[in-house]
Structure 1
Amino acid sequence: MDLNADLGEGFGRWTLTDDEALLSVVTSANVACGFHAGDPATMRRVCEGAAVRGVRIGAQVSYRDLAGFGRRAMDVPRVELAAELTYQMGALEVFARAAGAGVAYVKPHGALYNRAVADEEQAAAVVNAVTAFARAFGRELPVLGLPGSALLRLAAAAGLPTVAEAFADRAYTPAGTLVPRTQAGAVLHEPDAVVAQALAITVRGEAATVTGAKVPVAADSLCLHGDTPGAAALARRVRAALESAGVAIGAFA
C-alpha cells in the first residue's frame, strides 16, 4: 500500500504542514503547485526533501484559489482549466528535476478533486493537462483519484495509468464518495478511528459509512491529510499499524 500526504501547503511566511516529519513516513508526496497553496521556495524545498528520502513527487493541482485553499467550487472552462493545470505540473517538474527526481503522478486537490468525481468536463480538463505534460516531457503520469470517478474513467480511456485512492481520515457516504467538508463529521479526528479505518480499507477492502453500513473500497494508495493537528504523529501511528498487520508499504509510482 502506498501512503500519500498533501505537502508544501504553505505560502510565504505561513506554513501549514510539517513537511519534514511527514516525508519520513509517507511514500508519495502530493506537492502543492502554487494555486491553492505553495510557492516556489516551498516547492523546491519539498522536492529536495522528497528526493533525498526516495519519496515520489506528485503534482497536486488545483483551481486558482489561494484565498479559499482550493476548496471553493469554481466554474472554469475546460480549455482554460487544462492550461492552468499544465502550468502547475510544469512548474513542479522544474523543481523536481533540479532535485534529481521528476514528477511521478498527478492528483487534483480539494474542490477540483471532488468535482472531477462526477463532472466529466472538469475531469476531462485534468486528463487533457496530463496528456499535454506527456507530450512536453515524453512520459505519461499516473492519475490518482477516487475509485469509480469520472476522472479515473476518462484517464483510463485516454491510455493513462490510474491509481485508486482511499482516505484514512475522511468519512464515506453509502455511495463510496467522500462526505462533503461542509457537513459535520466529514473529517475523522479521533486517532483510533483513523487507524481503524486505515486497517479496514487496507486489510478488508471496506470502510464504514456515516450511516454505519459498510461500503467496498478498493485502493492502491491511502491518503493521510497533512493539514490536520498532529498529522505527522498520526501518520506514523497509521503506518506502524499497517506494518504490524503485515501490510507492505511502498510507492505505486
Structure 2
Amino acid sequence: MREFIDLNCDMGEGFGHWALSEAPDEQLMPLISSANIAAGFHAGDPNSMDRVVKLAQQHGVGLGAHPGYHDLQGFGRRYIKTRSEELVNDIVYQVGAIREFGRRHGIALQHVKPHGALYMEAAVNEELSELMIDTLRRTCGEAIVFCMGISKTYEAAKRMGQPVVREFYADRDYDDSGSIVFARQVVRQDPAAIAEKCVRACKEGVVRTVDGNDIEIEFESICFHSDTPGALENGKAIRNALLDAGITIAPAATVLEKSV
C-alpha cells in the first residue's frame, strides 16, 4: 500500500475570457498537491499563467509546466507530425514561461508534464523522449518529468538520470497493455467510483481495464483533469477517499523523497 501519493490536476486551461473547465482553478487548487499549468500553446495565456502560478504558491502546491502541441483550436489533442527538434523547442519555450512566472511569485518549478497528444506521442517515440529528457537535464535538471510507467519517456528518464514520476489516471480508462485509452470527448463519471478506483490502485496496485481484466499498475501520482465533466466533485471525492484510507497527499517531490 502506498503511504504517500501526489494528486495532480491540469490547470489554467482557458484562453483570454474563455475557460474550458467548469470548475474554477481557485476551487480545484486546494484539493491537489501538484498543478500542471497550461503554458500557452494548447491553452493558457500570460495572464492565466500568472494567476494560476500565484494560486499554486499560495496553497503550497508543486508548480508544473504543462506544454502541448501548438494547437489552441484542437486543445492539443490532435497529433501534429513534425520533427522532434521542433517539438522540444516548443517545450523549452513553454517550460520557460511557467518557470519565469514561478520566479516572479517565489515558487520553484517542480515538474514538467507534456499535455494530451504530445504526452501520448512522447510515450511511444523514443527519439522525442530522449531529446526532451536531454534538453530538460540541460535547462532544468531538477525538474521531475511526469509520464506513464509504460512509456519511452519513463525509460529515457530512468536511463538518463532525470527525476521521474509515474501517473495513475483517475478519470481515464486503461487497456490491457497498461496504457490509457485516449479520448477526445470525456463523459461524466461517478465520483465515488473514481475515488474507489484510486484507493484500490493505492492499496492493491491494480486497475480494472476496459476489457474487464485487473492489471498491475505502479505510480507515484494520481491525475484528474479539470476539463472532465464533474471535475470538482471528482477531485473532492478522490482527496477525501485517499485521506480516509490513511494515505498522505503530498507534492511529487516529497513523494519521491519518501520513496527512497
TM-score norm. by structure 2 comes to 0.91
Superposition map of 1:101-116 within 5 A: 101-116=107-122
Stretches of 4+ aligned residues off by more than 2 angstroms: none
Deviation per CA, 1:180-225: give whole Å up to 9, x if none: 215x8x7662223211211121121111000111011111000011
| 1:14 to 2:7 alignment | no
1:4 matched residue in structure 2: 8
The amino acid across from 1:202 in the alignment is: C
Instruction: Give the drift of 1:237.
Output: 1.3
2:256 matched residue in structure 1: none
Deviation per CA, 1:26-83: give whole Å up to 9, x if none: 0000000001000000000000010011001101111111111000011221111111
1:66 matched residue in structure 2: 72
Report if aligned partners of 1:61, 1:89 keep a CA contact under 8 Å in 2: yes
Q: Structure 1: 5+ residue runs without aligned partners?
A: none
Identical aligned pairs, as a percentage? 39
Report if aligned partners of 1:86, 1:132 keep a CA contact under 8 Å in 2: no
Taking only aligned residues, the RMSD between alpha carbons, in angstroms, comes to 1.5
TM-score norm. by structure 1 comes to 0.93
Matched positions, count: 247
Deviation per CA, 1:114-170: give whole Å up to 9, x if none: 111211122224213312323xxxx42111100021001111222101111111111
Report if aligned partners of 2:9, 2:36 keep a CA contact under 8 Å in 1: yes
Report if aligned partners of 2:7, 2:223 keep a CA contact under 8 Å in 1: yes
1:178 matched residue in structure 2: 180
Q: Structure 2: 5+ residue runs without aligned partners?
A: 254-260
The amino acid across from 1:120 in the alignment is: E
SS at structure 1 position matched to 2:31:
coil
Superposition map of 1:69-108 within 5 A: 69-108=75-114
SS at structure 1 position matched to 2:8:
strand
2:165 matched residue in structure 1: 163
2-side partners of 1:76 and 1:200: how far apart? 39
Report if aligned partners of 2:165, 2:219 keep a CA contact under 8 Å in 1: yes
2:148 matched residue in structure 1: 146
2-side partners of 1:193 and 1:175: how far apart? 22
1:196 matched residue in structure 2: 196
